[in-house]
Amino acid sequence: MILSIERVSITSREKKIVDNVSLSIRKGEWYALVGQSGSGKSLLSQSIGQLLHSNLQIEGKISFKGENLLDFSPKQMRTIRGQKISYIFQDYQGSFTPFRTISQHFEEYQKTHGIHDPKNRELNAKKELEAVGLDETLYNRYPFQLSGGQLQRVSIALALLLSPDLLIADEITTALDSVSGHRILELLAKRQKEKGCTILFITHDWRHVKRYATRLAVMKEGKIVESGNKHRILDHPRHEYTKHLIQAAPTLGRGLPSGLPEVENK
């Protein structure tokens, strides 16, 4: 297992938001964490990279490649984030400074992780932009000059630039229209295979779960209520909450571009 979360609880002053959660993710798989808004899935994903707000307390163990990340210092985590564990957030536009060019974002990202040669930084950035289907002319543009789909592709390029072992993608298609969202996920699936990384996919969309996930866990009110192989859960859900979510979801075959087979990540 590349990541094991063991009996993790996250508590605010008022209440326990994540309650005794355990799950394990295998190397190279696409693991989906599914639940309605407020279920605690994003907080759980943020806890992996020590990104929780200071007013939240965490207990338990988060093992990444055999080491407990909760024992790491902030300095150690700054090295891990980006190089070993990378994030793509729902608010991808908020990840960019409006008046800094795309090139400056790539420059800063690489400088932070010890890539000092300017020529190498530019070469790395343009190669990754090309890999996500963007022309290198976008390199010197500002974020507000790009469409939502283009900016999300830049987010993927940045997140995969240093070939992390684990990519955490948190509701990354929510702000996009249906067609752009499907294209982004197709691109991410392609880049996952090329990079060989593991994906933790935070979502509420069962169509995406059906198409991309290998295994999944369902969260309700801070607890995992069901987990396992996606086919077993989609075909034979056991928990009433899971049954309710699947029944309430749009038809699982609807909304996907025609002719696209289900993706199997093995």
Instruction: Please name each of the domains of the chain with its CATH number.
Output: 3-248 (3.40.50.300)
CA 84 and chain centroid, separation: 13
CA angle 176, 197, 183 (to 5 degrees): 25
pLDDT attached to residue 230? 95
Nearest to 217 by CA among 40, 44, 33, 37: 33
pLDDT of residue 95: 80
Per-residue pLDDT of the chain (266 residues; tens, 9 = 90+): 999 999 999 999 889 999 999 999 999 999 999 999 889 999 999 999 999 999 999 999 999 999 999 999 999 998 899 899 999 988 777 789 999 999 999 999 999 898 989 999 999 999 999 999 999 889 999 999 999 889 999 999 999 999 999 999 999 988 788 888 889 999 999 999 999 999 999 999 999 999 999 999 999 999 999 999 999 999 999 999 999 999 988 766 444 443 444 454 44
The structure tokens listed for 82 are 């980006």
- Residue appearing with tokens 């025609």: 258
Structure token pair of residue 262:
């289900």
Task: Provide the pairing of β-strand 30-34 with 198-203.
Answer: parallel
Dist CA 92 CA 110 (whole Å): 19
- Which secondary-structure segment (H or E) carries 230? helix 230-235
pLDDT score, position 255: 41
pLDDT at 180: 85
**DSSP tally for the chain: helices H, then strands E:** 9, 10
Q: What is the pLDDT of residue 252?
A: 62
Dist. CA 212–CA 252, nearest whole Å: 12
pTM (2 d.p.): 0.90
Strand partners, 216: 32, 228
Identify the residue whose tokens are 């928990």: 239
The per-residue pLDDT for 128 is 94
- What per-residue confidence (pLDDT) applies to 14? 83
pLDDT at 263: 52
